[in-house]
Structure 1
C-alpha cells in the first residue's frame, strides 16, 4: 500500500502494544496514516509510537481498557480532538486465557474473555460508528479468528467470543452500509505472536500439530494479518463489507 493510500487519514488501532496490533499500527503508518495507538500496556504502546515516529510517521498513545465504556468513549474523543475525525478503526484488542474443555470452564474466565473480546469490540464499534455517522462515513475492521468460523477444542469461550465478533461485524455492516460505513473482520489462523509463544512455552509439543493444521506448512506472521487489515480499510476494498477474511494458511480449507 503506497503512502498516498492513507495520506491525511486518521486510524485507530487497539491492542497495539505488540503482536498483530503493533504490526498493523506500523503498516497503517507506512501507508501514510496518522495512527492512534491504543492499549492497556503504556510501555508497549509508547514503544509502538516511537517505532512509528522514528521514520517520520505521526502517532500518539491512548491508554484504554476496551471493556470500559467511559474509556472507549474518551479514546474516540481523543482521536477526534487531535485530528478532527476518525477515518478507520482496527478493533484488535483481545485475550485468550483458557485451555480447558467447556465443562471445566469457570465463570470468572467466561466473564473476562467475553468482557474483552465481545464487549470490547461492541463498545469500540458503538463509539466509532457514532463518530463516523457524524462525519459521513468510515471503515472498521474487527479481529475475529478462525475460531469464529469453526470450533476450537479446549478454547470454547474464546471460540464463542470470536463467533460473536463475526455476528457483530455482519450486523453492523448491514445496518450502516448506506451511511458510508464499511465493517469487516479479519480471521487469523495461528499467528506467531507473544501470546502464542507463551502457549508453546507451556506446551512445546503443540507446535508440531499446529504446523500440521496449516496446509501452507508454516505459522502466520503478524505482518500478514496487518496487511489484510490495511487492505480492508483501503479504497481497494470499497465494495467489501460484512466479510470475514480468513488469513489462515488454509486451516479452514480442510
Structure 2
C-alpha cells in the first residue's frame, strides 16, 4: 500500500519518508502548509494524480502556539495558531470533500488533543462565524461525515 505524508518542514518529512521506507512502506512526501489554500489543494491534487483517488484523509496538523500567558499573545501568533489548528482542518475538508464526493466515498479523520480541542470545537466555531451551513451541506451532499479522534 502506498501512502502520502505531508507537512511544512521539508527535512522532517524527508526523514520520516526514509524511516518508513526502511520498514518497507512505500511513502511519498509532499511539502504543504495547511494554513494556505493553494498548498492544501496541491496536496490533494497530487494525491489524486499519484493514486487515482483518496480513500482516507488524516488531519493531524496542529500547534499550541506560543507557550506562555495570554499577555504575550500577539495578533501574529494568534493568527498562526488559528490558521494551523482551525483553518487547516477546514481547508483539508474543503478539498478532500471535493474528491471524495466525486468518487462516491472515503473516510476523513480529524485529530485533536483533548487539551487543545480545536477540531472538537470546529463546528461550534464555524457556527459562530456563519460557516456551519457550508460544512453541513458538504457532509449531506457527499455522505462523508468527518470523524474526530481526541487522544
What TM-score, normalized to structure 2?
0.81
Superimposed CA distance per residue, residues 106-163 of structure 1 (whole angstroms, 9 cap, x where no aligned partner): 22221110011111111111001101001001111112221355xxxxxxxxxxx445
Superposition pairs for residues 1-254 of structure 1, below 5 Å? 33-102=1-70, 104-148=72-116, 161-165=118-122, 167=124, 172=135, 175-176=138-139, 179-188=142-151
- Using a 3 Å threshold, how does the CA distance of structure 1 residues 185 and 115 change in structure 2: closer, same or farther? same
- Runs of 5+ unmatched residues, structure 1: 1-32, 150-160, 189-254
User: Retained in 2: the 8 A contact 1:36–1:79?
Assistant: yes
Structure having greater relative contact order (Cα 8 Å, sep ≥ 6): 2
Distance change (3 Å), C-alpha of 1:162 and 1:132: closer
Deviation digits for residues 172-223 of structure 1, max 9, x if unmatched? 57852563423111112xxxxxxxxxxxxxxxxxxxxxxxxxxxxxxxxxxx
Report which of the two structures shows the higher radius of gyration computed on alpha carbons: 1
- Total equivalences in the alignment: 144
Question: Which residue is equivalent to 2:129?
Answer: none
Q: Quick one: structure 1 residues 86 and 162, their matched pair in 2 at CA, closer, same or farther if it must change by over 3 Å?
A: closer
Q: Is the 8 A contact 1:94 1:116 kept in 2?
A: yes
Unpaired runs of 5+ in structure 2? 127-131
- Asked whether the 8 Å contact 2:34–2:40 carries over to 1, the reply is yes
Shift of 1:90: 0.7
TM normalised by structure 1 equals 0.51
Distance 1:173 1:53, change over 3 A: farther
